[in-house]
Amino acid sequence: MRLRFLSKSRVARLQRYAKQVFILLYFSLVGFALFNYRSHCIETMPNTLIEMSKLDHSLADRCTLDFDNLGDADVDIFGEPTEESIMADNPNVKTGGTWKPTDCRSWQRVAIVIPYRDRLHHLHILLRRLHPMLQTQKIHYKIFVVEQADKDKFNRGKLMNVGYKEALRLGEFDCMIFQDVDLLPEDDRNLYLCDDYARHLAAAIDEMRYHVMYYNYAGGVIAMNKHNFRKINGYSNSYWGWGNEDDDFSARIQESGLLLTRPPTHIGRYKMVRHTKETRSEHGNEMFLGWRTRWPKDGLNDPVGMNYTLREVNEKPLYTRVLVDIGKPPASMDIYMTDHSKDVSIWWFLKYYYP
């Protein structure tokens, strides 16, 4: 009887200690977040992008936009549009997915890069939404669909880098927008333009309950001028499979000193077209630990990692298709993680995810 009483007493004491440890840990994290706060990310209204562009360009013949009359759009993620129906609804789009206003000069020339493979249904839904929205915003744009030709693991980061290089090879652009094929903007006020920093357009996604995934996150849809994208060495070429390439890219933005701007969440809203997730990147989390070591040489300036073969560049009615062979993943991801001496620490991770 006494042993049973002592056992219950010990359990109660352990429960009390556990609660105290939990409370201490909670307030420690809150205190850490408060003292570690840094303004890497700020919200700015999209119409300020137009005001900023006036500083560097002549106002003669520039487009004007009645921002107050723009707003929520009817976004359908379940329909099945055909290419013909999208073409009929957008008769002024030129071959290659190009449009520009005829009655004024747009503020920027914008290249929209979409990494892609085997998602034709998603692509049609996105094109049905993007073309009329960009015309409403009076943007001079061209859409590039960068398609991975092989059946190996998807490499989203490398496709973004290829899209950057091929877009600039094929035209003159001020602003690069990297757009996932399954994300549809819900508000016409979310201008597809670049500022002088890095602009995260997908500030609130329905699958994430219209919250940003984490404070420094720059995934989904990102707008960056061509000089800043080159400055951070683009995306990593090393993540084969889904996941972590966005974390790597977000860390590059922060480490380079670039501000990350976002529209307010009620404007930067996106719907995600549902789909089966790609195979996750092998050892993606472990690779991210060593992102800082790889950053200077893993990206646009890597002659080996950026080796690719153009299979086809075809100007279709609604977009320019860039079919590319980007090679195969290495037999083992261990080649990216041979030296752990310069990996980031757990303290860096805390500062990164809980600033």
| Over residues 153-172, mean pLDDT | 97
Please provide the average confidence, as pLDDT, over all residues in the chain.
88
| Over residues 195-219, mean pLDDT | 93
Q: Do 204 and 270 contact (CB within 8 A), yes or no?
A: yes
Of 40-49, 69-78, 206-215, 255-264, give the range with the top mean pLDDT.
255-264
User: What is this structure's pTM?
Assistant: 0.86
On the CB side of 231, CA atoms within 13 Å amount to 14
Q: How far apart are CA 193 and CA 177, in angstroms?
A: 8
The per-residue pLDDT for 131 is 98
On the CB side of 333, CA atoms within 13 Å amount to 16
* Stronger pLDDT, 258 or 338, i.e. the higher one: 258
| 160 three-class SS | helix
Tell me the Ramachandran region of residue 97: left when phi exceeds 0, alpha when psi lies from -120 to 50, beta otherwise. left
By C-alpha distance, which of 212, 229, 337, 321 is closest to 287?
337
Of 15-19, 38-42, 133-137, give the range with the top mean pLDDT.
133-137
| Over residues 58-66, mean pLDDT | 83
pLDDT band at 11 (very low <50, low <70, confident <90, very high): confident
Residue where the block lists tokens 């989904």: 220
Q: Do 144 and 200 contact (CB within 8 A), yes or no?
A: no
pLDDT in tens, 263-284: 999 999 999 998 666 666 667 7
pLDDT in tens, 91-107: 999 999 999 999 999 99
pLDDT at 69 over 50: yes
pLDDT in tens, 337-352: 666 656 777 777 777 8
Q: Do 165 and 235 contact (CB within 8 A), yes or no?
A: no
